[in-house]
Amino acid sequence: MTMILVTGATGNVGRPLIDLLVNEGAGVRAVSRDPGAAGLPAGVEVVAGDPSRPDTITAHLSGVTSVFLNPRAVGTAAGELVDLLKRHEVTRVVTVSAINCDDDPARQPSRYRGELNKEVEDAVVGSGLEWVSLRSSLYASNGIGQWAAQIRAGDVVFGPYAAATAAPIDERDIAAVGARALLGDGLLGRRVELTGPDRLTQREMVTTIGDAIGRSLRYQEIPPDGARNAIVGIGFPEGFADALLAMQAGSIERPAPVTGEVATILGRPALAYARWAADHAEAFQRSAA
């Protein structure tokens, strides 16, 4: 049986990926820093490890043929981790990456949270192993962190750049493509650019969430300086705030791309933001506060 080691197993892509792999009958070994709290399905072997410290992964590679990497979990250890995989029986590595990973780092907020998508992708591409990189657009679930607290409190969402664009992708679609990349050969050697089906402005995303919860929500634009203070005030690094604002401003001048890769690969349309919002309505409803 195929044995797949999944890092970031408890994350946005990891959870739906594991459900799909289990349904397909693959063996899954899930890495978590806190296995007791992982809450993964029966049949998944959950092991303690931290991919940013590859020595904690070594013991879990026995019998593993494929590995799924989450750069957030890998941190700065990509080179060391890939070298470790090559010394074992691993033949394939699939990584999460980002559609903007070749952009100016000053417009990549994720880098300021230690998510080195480009470096992890480069390590995977240069590994000599079979590889696939899932370069995805903005995750739909970012909307929870960005807006849920405000939406639970009232009908006005304050934020910068109402006209900033993205083609938000439902993480279940990234997971579905990830399962194809791990279990089939059709995507090998590709940096696949994955997006949601539609380009939306921030104002439109908030309105869509409002439709899903039966409320009329309004996005009230605030100046970038005020937004920067607010982002830093809740604990994000200054570099993150600056890069997020620069990315959003840039997406007005150069609207976010929409690719048809999800539909082409999966043979069905990519999940719409409205569907994501309906499935996550609880996060935005007042009773969830």
- Chain residues in the site for ligand NAP (CB under 6 A): 8-14, 32-34, 38, 50, 52, 70-73, 96, 98, 110, 115, 117, 136, 138-139, 142
In the complex with ligand NAP, the residue whose CB is nearer, 36 or 223, is 36
Q: CA-CA distance, 252 to 202, in Å (whole number)?
A: 11
Q: How far is the CB of 277 from ligand NAP (least distance, A)?
A: 16
**Residue ranges of E strands in the chain:** 3-6, 27-32, 45-48, 66-69, 92-98, 130-136, 156-159, 165-166, 190-194, 200-201, 218-221
Q: Work out the angle at residue 212's Cα, subtended by the Cα atoms of residues 149 and 256, and round it to the nearest 5 degrees.
A: 80
Q: How many residues does the chain have?
A: 289
Q: How far is the CB of 15 from ligand NAP (least distance, A)?
A: 8
Q: How far is the CB of 1 from ligand NAP (least distance, A)?
A: 24
Would you call 232 helix, strand, or coil by DSSP? helix
Q: Residue of minimal CB distance from ligand NAP? A: 11
In the complex with ligand NAP, the residue whose CB is nearer, 101 or 157, is 101
Quote the tokens at residue 248.
Answer: 């959003």
Quote the tokens at residue 190.
Answer: 């590709």
In the complex with ligand NAP, the residue whose CB is nearer, 33 or 215, is 33
In the complex with ligand NAP, the residue whose CB is nearer, 3 or 256, is 256
In the complex with ligand NAP, the residue whose CB is nearer, 166 or 217, is 166
In the complex with ligand NAP, the residue whose CB is nearer, 32 or 248, is 32
- Residue 280 and residue 147 in contact, taking contact as beta carbons nearer than 8 Å: no
Q: How far is the CB of 260 from ligand NAP (least distance, A)?
A: 18
Q: How far is the CB of 285 from ligand NAP (least distance, A)?
A: 22
Q: How far is the CB of 53 from ligand NAP (least distance, A)?
A: 10
Residue whose tokens read 């409002």: 210
Q: CA-CA distance, 277 to 212, in Å (whole number)?
A: 6
Q: How far is the CB of 113 from ligand NAP (least distance, A)?
A: 7
- Residue 200 and residue 165 in contact, taking contact as beta carbons nearer than 8 Å: yes
Angle between helices 202-213 and 142-153 (to 10 degrees): 60
In the complex with ligand NAP, the residue whose CB is nearer, 144 or 218, is 144
